[in-house]
Amino acid sequence: MSKPTPNHFLRSIAKNDLANGKHEYVYTRFPPEPNGYLHLGHAKSICLNFGLAEDLGGKCNLRFDDTNPEKENLEFVESIRDSVEWLGFEWEKLCYASDYYDHLYGFALELIDKGLAYVDDLNAEQMREYRGTLTEPGTNSPSRERPVAENRDLFERMRAGEFAEGAYTLRAKIDMSSPNIVMRDPILYRIRYAHHYRAGDKWCIYPMYDFTHCISDALEGITHSLCTLEFQDNRELYDWVLANITIEENLVGEKGKVMPRQIEFGRSNLEYTVASKRKLIQLVNEGHVDGWDDPRLTTLVGLRRRGYTPQSIRDFCAEIGVTKKDSTIEMTVLENAIRHDLEASAKRVFGVLMPLKLVITNYPEGESETFTVKNHPKDESMGTREIPFGREVYIDHDDFMLDPPSKFFRLGPDREVRLRYGYAVTCNEVVQDSDGNVTELRCTYDPLTAKGKTPDGRKIKGIIHWVSATEAVDAEVRVYDRLYTEANPGAADDFVSLINPESLKVFPNAKIEPSVLEASTDDRFQFERVGYFCFDSVDHKESKVVMNRTVSLRDTWAKVGGK
């Protein structure tokens, strides 16, 4: 099932760098900011960075890009670590940009001393005005020609906490008329009196991303710094910083100096989902979903709770590829990945979501039997299990119609259907309540049809699943559907109004075959003819079975118009 390694452009670059001796090894890093939970987009980056290193015999660090204390915390760090591990990747080193604050400060001093950075007293609004526009060059700040000694003094005092937030910034002295706005004297440091979840209160100045990221890469000996397309303009600054500081050695990386190269790749979006952190926070805070791990979300914790396997997500990432253009992936690609994995690995069981009692009137009262059935139709190594059968069983409401069309291969008045692994039964009587709802079916069975046999050779097209009425386990089953009614909810003004009201259907009275109770809590099942299910990691207890539908089976009947 594991696919051949896809040869995308980044892999070609890395292999080429190895082949021509530019690098002796490939060293990548996955650098999330710990300001939220990881989602599928991050999985793409994780699979890319860790996968490339794995593939080419290199290394990959997990690095927290934690330079904005106001948004970051330990809970996110732990969740991110957990998700990366869950996906099955091992980092060479666990790093934090905040561990480089001392080094970073030193490099800032170096730039000041070289006359390549200056302390500016423009406020945010003034700075915007001086920056110019997309089509007009900026103008130099009055502080731009501040003498080196004064810059150094001011910067040291910024660090010492002598100034208010926003009073000063440290800026790189590059070119206010650069066509690339990133290069118009970018801010390197800002004053923030904020507690850092890791560095505590040691600092009141914090380095900006553009200054931090390239240096972090260099310190760790990263060879290929992969990031998304929107950082393409930042690459010029990335290179500028590294070209203008002195890195004697890679302080925490491999020996020898390497100049990391930033290369960008396109993001992938999934239809019917949103990935923006802001929107996810809104969904959680306004209670539209159950939390960051709501099974309808494509956060990694959500997908995990939904029943997605790490393998399926890795396969998905391999399937969508890596290119230099942003893409929008159809939901079926993700679904195919998990179906493919679970088809091979999930144990088959019977589960009935909407139970309809079926009484076999000619089956001896008080008697019962058990059938020994395969846990997987093709994989003998998965063994067998016993399922109890008796006079009363539950079948799914969907498998009965009062007035079925001819194409409906299931049960209806006077129709015959096979109870899978058991006998053929014919429906003789339909019991309805005063509202006309079907409440019970009374059938007769043909004792000669045990175990799939039909001695007289008659064809029984319909086969349905069932569960013993006396032995079945009660369960709550949650069936999920896409969270939005439109393919690109993120583009709408009010994405909340696009939430699919049927994204969660709860079946509180489901009946499941008893063998499920013997399984471990992270086992996954195929309810035959229905879909793939797992136990809900939050609400499932021994005393109350709660299961989630990961994904349905392909259903050509539903497509024809059955449901």
Active site residues: 33, 267, 277
**Residue at 241: amino acid letter:** V
Strand pairing class (392-396; 466-468):
antiparallel
Check binding of 328 to RNA (CB under 7 A).
yes
Q: Of 436, 542, 556, 561, which lies in the binding site for RNA, with binding defined by CB under 7 A?
A: 556
Looking at the Cβ atoms of 139 and 232, the one nearer to RNA is 232
Looking at the Cβ atoms of 291 and 462, the one nearer to RNA is 462
Check binding of 362 to RNA (CB under 7 A).
no
Q: Of 325, 366, 457, 543, which lies in the binding site for RNA, with binding defined by CB under 7 A?
A: 325
Site for RNA in 462-481 (CB under 7 A): 462-463
**HEC-encoded secondary structure of 287-313:** CCCCCCCCCCCCEHHHHHHHCCCHHHH
Q: Of 146, 511, 529, 549, which lies in the binding site for RNA, with binding defined by CB under 7 A?
A: 529
What lies within 8 Å, CB to CB, of 274 at 6+ separation is 280, 283, 484, 489, 490, 495
Q: Of 348, 385, 478, 511, which lies in the binding site for RNA, with binding defined by CB under 7 A?
A: 348
Contact region for RNA (CB under 7 A) — 427-435, 438-446, 510-518, 547-555?
547-555
Q: Of 233, 386, 429, 502, which lies in the binding site for RNA, with binding defined by CB under 7 A?
A: 233
Looking at the Cβ atoms of 124 and 541, the one nearer to RNA is 124
> x/- site string to RNA, residues 201 to 220, per CB under 7 A?
-----x-xxx--x-------
d(C-alpha 402, C-alpha 393), whole Å? 19
CA Rg value for the chain: 31
Check binding of 19 to RNA (CB under 7 A).
no
d(C-alpha 431, C-alpha 436), whole Å? 9
Q: Show the tokens assigned to 390.
A: 């008796």
Site for RNA in 64-123 (CB under 7 A): 65, 67-68, 71, 122-123
If residue 94 lies in a helix (H) or strand (E), which one and from where to where? strand 94-96
Check binding of 29 to RNA (CB under 7 A).
no
What is the full DSSP assignment across 209-232? HHHHHHHHHHHHT-SEEEEEGGGT
Strand pairing class (327-329; 268-270):
parallel
Site for RNA in 397-426 (CB under 7 A): 407-410, 418, 420-422
Check binding of 16 to RNA (CB under 7 A).
no
* Minimum distance, C-beta of residue 361 to RNA, in the bound complex (Å): 21
d(C-alpha 228, C-alpha 25), whole Å? 22
d(C-alpha 238, C-alpha 329), whole Å? 31
Q: Of 166, 200, 383, 447, which lies in the binding site for RNA, with binding defined by CB under 7 A?
A: 166
Check binding of 563 to RNA (CB under 7 A).
no
* Minimum distance, C-beta of residue 274 to RNA, in the bound complex (Å): 14
d(C-alpha 119, C-alpha 297), whole Å? 44
Q: Name the H helices within 132-179.
A: 148-160
Looking at the Cβ atoms of 375 and 503, the one nearer to RNA is 375
> What's the N-to-C CA distance of the chain in angstroms?
32
Check binding of 453 to RNA (CB under 7 A).
yes
Strand pairing class (416-419; 392-396):
unpaired
Site for RNA in 262-281 (CB under 7 A): 266, 268
Q: Show the tokens assigned to 220.
A: 């760790």
Site for RNA in 129-158 (CB under 7 A): 131, 133-135
Check binding of 555 to RNA (CB under 7 A).
yes
